[in-house]
Amino acid sequence: MSTEHADTTRTETTNGPDGSNDADASAGPADGSAATDATDLDGEDLVLGYPNAPEPVIDGESIAAEPGAVTALVGPNGSGKSTLLKGLATQIAPEDGSVLVDGEDVHAMDAKALARKLGLLSQESTSPNSITVEDLVYHGRYPHRGFFERTTEADAVAVEEAIELAGCGHLRDREVGSLSGGQKQLAWIAMVLAQDTDVLLLDEPTTFLDMHHQMEVMEIIETLRDESDVTVVVVLHDIEQAARLADRMVALKDGEIRARGAPEEIVTEELLADVFRVDADVVQTENGPRVTPLRARHE
């Protein structure tokens, strides 16, 4: 699905506040149907941090992404969401623990083999401003070619399908540097889709986008969930947005997984008070929970 910025991806599932494991989520998507072709992504006892940090950000957490479904990581700023995603995507090497794709340790896999399994859209994706959108999307095909091989018919088909799904056909001849923030995000998503991976990791893909482009990104993820066996793990800042999109949610605070489960189990007034430190009213609707923040908590 993607290029050098999109060659890894992971999903999540982990132990709840009572210590129970979300391994039951691996049985299939939320509707109970079998997902035998979907890929398992598991992070086991992960310890993740940064070279100059005195302590790990994530210290011994485990997570298992629901195969063929959407798992959303939520939590306040600094809770460890993006760090956990980077660990699953091999952007951060764990100090301890392991990341497994269908039972195989990702750090033992060949780089191109891994890039055919895992795709990552990070917040740091960059490219030359002069490259066209179509050429950018073609970069997503690099895991499927040898170093000197030309693009194939399969590459062309994958690129066209990715551009169509991302809804950026009208931008294909535009230079990336001439695009708005929302348009660039669609182009990057198309590149990751062209990578054609089994697992897709997305780090806050709707941040800084206007409402229209946010909805476009959400619709792309919903289409992947509904029409393919792709396992998606996404970090989202907006908890209502996450609840509408995700089959399962994982809530983090201070590097710890505080809760996991279906959106209606996670988005509660108690969790918002504990994890997000806000008093709020939560009303369950047919479109997902509606959250009305009332006041910030100052313990």
Per residue in 206-219, pLDDT (tens digit) is 988 999 999 999 99
Edge-to-edge strand ranges of the sheet holding 104-105: 58-65, 41-48, 96-101, 104-105
Most confident of 200-204, 208-212, 287-291: 200-204
Q: What is the residue-averaged pLDDT of the chain?
A: 87
In this prediction, residue 14 carries a pLDDT of 36
Rounded Cα distance, 27 and 102, in Å: 13
Rounded Cα distance, 131 and 118, in Å: 24
User: pTM, whole model, 2 decimals?
Assistant: 0.84
Higher pLDDT, 232 or 32: 232
Q: Which H or E element spans position 119? A: strand 118-121
In this prediction, residue 129 carries a pLDDT of 85
In this prediction, residue 146 carries a pLDDT of 67
Angle (CA) 44 100 91, round 5°: 90
The residue type at 234: V
Across residues 240-251, what is the average pLDDT?
96
Rounded Cα distance, 74 and 234, in Å: 9
* pLDDT value at 221 more than 70: yes
In this prediction, residue 145 carries a pLDDT of 78
* pLDDT value at 90 more than 60: yes
CA distances, 129 to each of 63, 132, 177, 209, 295 (Å):
37, 8, 4, 19, 43
* pLDDT value at 24 more than 90: no
* pLDDT value at 26 more than 60: no
Tokens linked to 242: 């996450």
* In contact, 83 and 57? CB cutoff 8 Å: yes
Domain that holds residue 242: 4-296
* pLDDT value at 17 more than 60: no
Q: Is residue 189 classed exposed, middle or buried when 0-12, 13-18 and 19+ CB atoms within 10 A define those classes?
A: buried
Of 31-35, 52-56, 124-128, 239-243, the range with the lowest mean pLDDT is 31-35
Across residues 56-65, what is the average pLDDT?
97
In this prediction, residue 148 carries a pLDDT of 62
In this prediction, residue 207 carries a pLDDT of 86
Across residues 273-287, what is the average pLDDT?
94
Where residue 101 sits, what CATH number does that domain have? 3.40.50.300
Rounded Cα distance, 161 and 6, in Å: 17
Count CB-CB contacts under 10 A for residue 18.
Answer: 6
* pLDDT value at 151 more than 90: no
Rounded Cα distance, 97 and 137, in Å: 34
Backbone dihedral region of 254: left (phi > 0), alpha (psi from -120 to 50 degrees) or beta?
left
* In contact, 278 and 293? CB cutoff 8 Å: yes
* DSSP classification of residue 31: T
Rounded Cα distance, 112 and 101, in Å: 14
- Domains contained in the chain, number: 1
- pLDDT tier, 74 (very low <50, low <70, confident <90, very high otherwise): very high
For the chain, percent of residues with pLDDT exceeding 70? 87
- pLDDT tier, 7 (very low <50, low <70, confident <90, very high otherwise): very low
Rounded Cα distance, 69 and 293, in Å: 29
Q: Which H or E element spans position 294? A: strand 288-296
Across residues 176-182, what is the average pLDDT?
93
CA distance from start to end of the chain: 45
SS (H, E, C) 221-280: HHHHHHHCCCEEEEECCCHHHHHHHCCEEEEEECCEEEEEECHHHHCCHHHHHHHHCEEE
In this prediction, residue 30 carries a pLDDT of 44
* pLDDT value at 32 more than 70: no
